[in-house]
Amino acid sequence: MDARTLLPGPAACPATLGASRSALSAADAQPINRELSLLAFNHRVLALASDPDTPLLERLRFLCIVGNNLDEFFEIRVAGIKEQLRVRIPPARLTLQEARGLLPLIGSEVRALIHHQYRLLNEQVLPALAAVGVRLLRHADRTAAQRVWVTRYFNEEVRPLLTPIGLDPAHPFPQVVNKSLHFIVELSGRDAFGRDSSVAIVRAPRLLPRVIRLPPEMAAAQSFLLLSSAIHAHLQDLFPGREVLSYSQFRVTRDADLWIDEEEVKNLRKALQGELPQRQFGSAVRLEVAANCPDRLAHLLLAQFDLGEDDLYRCDGPVNMMRLVSLIEQVEIDALKYAPFTPGLPDRLRGRTDLLAAIRQHDILLHHPYQSFEPVVEFIRRAAEDPDVVAVKQTVYRTGVNSALMESLIVAARRGKEVTVVVELMARFDEEANINWAERLEQAGAQVVFGVFGLKTHAKMALLIRRETDAHGATRLTPYAHLGTGNYHPRTTRLYTDFGLLTADPGICADVNEVFLHITSLARANTLDRLLLAPFTMHARILQMIRRETHIAREGRPARIQAKMNGLLEERVIRALYAASQAGVRVELLVRGACALRPGLPGLSENITVRSLLGRFLEHQRVWYFENGGAHSVWLSSADWMGRNLFGRIEVAFPVSDPVLARRVIDEALAMGLADEAGSWELKADGTWERCRGDRGKPGCSAQHDLLARMRATVEPL
C-alpha cells in the first residue's frame, strides 16, 4: 500500500488548551482511577446536554443517558467496591485504606454530576421546551380544569393499583425492588386503631406510564405530567382522617451483578433463571430522595436499607430521570430531535442484488450507523432462504427482544439446516432475552451452546457455509463470514458507531470456523493464521505490535500508533505505550470512556495524546493502526484494551487487508476522529479533560456530521 495515501495526517484541530500541561514527573504516573474516569465520561455527556446547538429533546435524552449510566455505575461498579471491602479484598492496585477512601471521592463526584444534571433540566431544558410548546406540568402549574382531569385519571387509573402500607409490627417495611419508585409519607395523629403509626410507604404501580400526556383539549401546548406528580397531588386522599405532614419520593439502587459459582453449577441456564429474580433484591448501595425530603425520613430510610449518610443522594426533580425518555418519544415536533437519515450502502454493494456474489468479488466494509445494517440481516437471511446454504454459525451477545436475525436462524433450523448459535447467557442485563432466544432456537432444532463458563463470549462473528459449483462442475463447500466490532442488535446499529466486515477470504473464514469449534468443543484451538483470539494470543500480539513500533522508532525511522476504543485500562499495554512514547513513537488514541493512561508526562508519555469523541452516536468501534515501517497494519476488534476483554472474554481481532478498505478505516475512524472539533475532548496529564475547540468564530469540524453527509443513502439499501 502507498504510504502517502494511507498515512493519517496530523489532527486538523490542535486543542486550544487554556494552560500548559501539568508538570508531573514519571514518578507521578499513577493510573487514573477507573471509577473516577467513568464519572468524568458522564461529565462529558452532560456537556452535550448543555450545548445549545444540540436539539432540545436530544439534550433531554443526554440527561436521561447520564441517569441510566449512573444507575449501572452503582449497580455494578460501586456495588463491586462495597463487596470487595466487605470481604477485605481491595480492588487491583489499591490498599484497603485507599479503597475505603475511594467511596467518598465517588460520592463527591456523583453529587457534582447530579447537581449539574438537575440544574440543566430545571433551568435550561424544561424552560426551553416550554417556550416551544412542550410542557412538563407540576401540580402548581396546572389549571383548574387540568387538575380535575388529573384527579379523574388518578381515581380511575392509579388509585385502584395503590396499596399504602402503614408501618407497624404487623406491617413491616415492604420489599423494595431495585430502582422502583416509592413514597415515604409522614402522617399526623393516630391510625384507625388508635396506634401511633406515623409512617406509611406507597409504591408507584410499575405497569403505569411514568409520563402521562394530557388530552389536546386540556392545553394549547403538548403538555405532560409525571405519574409521581399525580400521586403527590393525591397522597392525602389515601389517608382519610389523617394529615400528611411530609413526604418524599425515594428509590433504592441495589447490587445487580449475578454471582454464579462455577464449581457448583451444573446447568448455567437453569442457574441463571433461578438467580435473575434475586437481582431485584440485592444489597442496597444507593438511596435517592427528593431534594426537600426531611432529614428524619431520609435517616429512617437509610437505617432500613443499612446505608450510611454517604449513600444518600438528593434529587431536585424526578428521582429517575431516565423515565423522561417516554416524554421524548411522545413529542410530535421533529425539529426538536436530530434529523432522520437513511443509512447508505458501500460502493461495492450499489446496484448489486446478489450479496454473496458481491462478497466473492471483494471484501465489503460496513460502517454503521452511517451505512445500513441490512446487508448483515440479508447475510443471515440467506441461511434460511437459500437452498444451497447448508450451515450457519453465529455468536449472540446482545441482540434485543425483537431480532430479524434470530428469526432467520430459527427458520433455517426448522428447514433442517445445520444451525449453531453461541449464546452468551451472562451478557449483563440481557440475560433474560438471551435465555428466551436460546430456548426458541433449541425448540427449532438449532444447536445452542453457552460459550465457555467463566469467559464471556464477546466476539461478533457469523459463518455461512454454502454448497457451490465451480467452473469445472465440481461442488464444494464455500464459507462466507461476517465479523464486527459491535453487537447483532438492530436498534443499537442505528445508535452506535461500529464496523463490520463481510468476507469470503479463505484464511479468515477458516479461522472463524476454528474459533467456533474451539468454543463449542472446549478443545484447544489450533493455531490461527489471520485472527487474534483472546484470552490466548490477542494480548501478546498487541504488545508485540506496540514493541515493533518502538523498535522502529529507536532505529530512527518514523513510527506511529493510532487506536480507537471504549476503554484503556490494561497495565502492560499502558506500560508498552509509555515505552513507545519514550522511544519517539507518535501515539494518538481515541478513548471514549475510562482511560487509566496519563498522556503528556515529560520523559514518559509526552508523545501520547488521548481524546474522547462524543456526539449524536455512541462511538463504539475498536480500531488499531500501526505504521509498521510503511507496511501499515490495520485491525478491527470486538475487544477494548482492558483486562476483562483480553483475559476474561472470548474476543477476536481481524485484519483489514484490502488496501481500499484499510484506507477507509483509517480515514473514517481515526483521521476524522482526531480532527474533530465539535465533540472532542483531550485528556491532560493530571487526569482532567478539556474541550477541544477550533478557531474562534468558525464552526468546528464534526466527524459524525461529516460522515453522515458523506455516506447518507442516495439509493435505497438492500
pLDDT in tens, 55-93: 999 999 999 999 999 999 999 999 999 988 888 888 777
pLDDT in tens, 630-678: 999 999 999 999 999 999 999 999 999 999 999 999 999 999 999 998 8
pLDDT in tens, 236-253: 999 988 899 999 999 999
Question: What CATH architecture does domain 347-529 belong to?
Answer: 2-Layer Sandwich (3.30)
Q: Which of 367, 458, 539, 620 is catalytic?
A: 458
More confident residue, 432 or 494: 494
- Whether residue 274 is predicted with pLDDT greater than 50 in this model: the reply is yes
Q: What letter would DSSP give residue 506? A: H
The Cα–Cα gap between 505 and 636 comes to 16
The Cα–Cα gap between 425 and 433 comes to 9
Q: Give me the pLDDT at residue 220, please.
A: 77
Listed range (15-29, 93-107, 466-480, 522-536) with the worst mean pLDDT = 15-29
Q: What mean pLDDT comes out for the span 172-185? A: 92
Cell of 604: 514518559
With beta carbons less than 8 A apart as the criterion, state whether 686 and 601 touch: no
pLDDT band at 532 (very low <50, low <70, confident <90, very high): very high
pLDDT band at 429 (very low <50, low <70, confident <90, very high): low
Judged by DSSP in three states, 137 sits in coil
Per DSSP, helices labelled H in 88-143 are 96-120, 126-131
Q: Give me the pLDDT at residue 22, please.
A: 42
Cα 624 versus chain centre, distance: 20
The Cα–Cα gap between 623 and 566 comes to 10
- Whether residue 629 is predicted with pLDDT greater than 50 in this model: the reply is yes
The Cα–Cα gap between 688 and 278 comes to 38
Maximum average pLDDT range among 125-129, 282-286, 423-427, 455-459: 125-129
With beta carbons less than 8 A apart as the criterion, state whether 313 and 71 touch: no
Q: Give me the pLDDT at residue 23, please.
A: 46
- Whether residue 624 is predicted with pLDDT greater than 70 in this model: the reply is yes
Residue-averaged pLDDT of the chain: 89
The Cα–Cα gap between 111 and 443 comes to 49
Enclosing H/E stretch for 268: helix 268-275
Q: Considering just the CA atoms, what is the radius of gyration of the chain in Å?
A: 28
Q: What letter would DSSP give residue 669? A: I
CATH class as words, domain 86-336: alpha beta
Q: Give me the pLDDT at residue 350, please.
A: 87
Using a pLDDT cut of 70, give the percent of the chain over it: 89
Summarize the chain as % helix, strand, coil (round to 5): 40, 20, 40
Q: Give me the pLDDT at residue 257, please.
A: 76
- Catalytic (active site) residue 551: no
Q: What letter would DSSP give residue 9? A: P
The overall pTM is greater than 0.85: yes
Q: Give me the pLDDT at residue 453, please.
A: 74
pLDDT band at 482 (very low <50, low <70, confident <90, very high): very high
Instruction: State residue 610 phi and psi, 5-degree precision.
Output: -130, 125
Cell of 448: 445452542
Is 347-529 in the same CATH topology as 3-30+533-711?
Answer: yes
Q: Give me the pLDDT at residue 235, please.
A: 94
Q: Give me the pLDDT at residue 522, please.
A: 81
How far from each other are the two terminal CA atoms of the chain, in whole angstroms?
31
Angle between helical axes of 34-50 and 56-72 (0-180°, round to 10): 160
Q: Give me the pLDDT at residue 452, please.
A: 77
Spell out where 280-416 has E strands. 284-290, 312-315, 364-368, 389-396
Q: Give me the pLDDT at residue 287, please.
A: 98
Judged by DSSP in three states, 53 sits in coil
More confident residue, 119 or 435: 119
Q: Give me the pLDDT at residue 5, please.
A: 35
pLDDT band at 9 (very low <50, low <70, confident <90, very high): very low
pLDDT band at 259 (very low <50, low <70, confident <90, very high): low
Per DSSP, helices labelled H in 629-712 are 643-647, 659-665, 672-675, 703-711
Enclosing H/E stretch for 135: strand 134-136
Which residue from 566, 615, 673, 601 is spatially nearest to 8, judged by alpha carbons? 673
> What DSSP assignment string belongs to 468-484?
EE-TTS-EEEEEEEEEE
Cell of 345: 450502502
Q: Give me the pLDDT at residue 273, please.
A: 52
pLDDT band at 8 (very low <50, low <70, confident <90, very high): very low
- Whether residue 26 is predicted with pLDDT greater than 80 in this model: the reply is no
Domain 3-30+533-711: give its CATH code: 3.30.870.10
Strand partners, 185: 200, 247
Q: Give me the pLDDT at residue 1, please.
A: 39
Listed range (179-193, 371-385, 412-426) with the worst mean pLDDT = 179-193
Amino acid at the residue 613: L
Q: What letter would DSSP give residue 170? A: T
More confident residue, 453 or 695: 453
Q: Give me the pLDDT at residue 18, please.
A: 31
The Cα–Cα gap between 653 and 501 comes to 12
Using a 10 angstrom Cβ sphere, with 0-12 exposed, 13-18 middle and 19 or more buried, the burial of residue 262 is exposed
Number of other residues whose CB lies within 10 A of the CB of residue 412: 27
Q: At which residue does the C-alpha cell 480515514 appear?
A: 667
Angle at 689 between CA 687 and CA 694, to 5 degrees: 145
Per DSSP, helices labelled H in 566-650 are 571-582, 643-647
Cell of 242: 389523617
- Residues ≥6 apart with Cβ < 8 Å to 97: none
Cell of 414: 426448522
- Whether residue 19 is predicted with pLDDT greater than 80 in this model: the reply is no
pLDDT band at 13 (very low <50, low <70, confident <90, very high): very low
Domain spans of the chain, in order of start = 3-30+533-711, 86-336, 347-529
More confident residue, 513 or 91: 513
pLDDT in tens, 310-365: 999 999 999 989 999 999 999 999 999 999 999 999 999 988 889 999 999 999 99
Enclosing H/E stretch for 186: strand 182-187
- Whether residue 51 is predicted with pLDDT greater than 80 in this model: the reply is yes
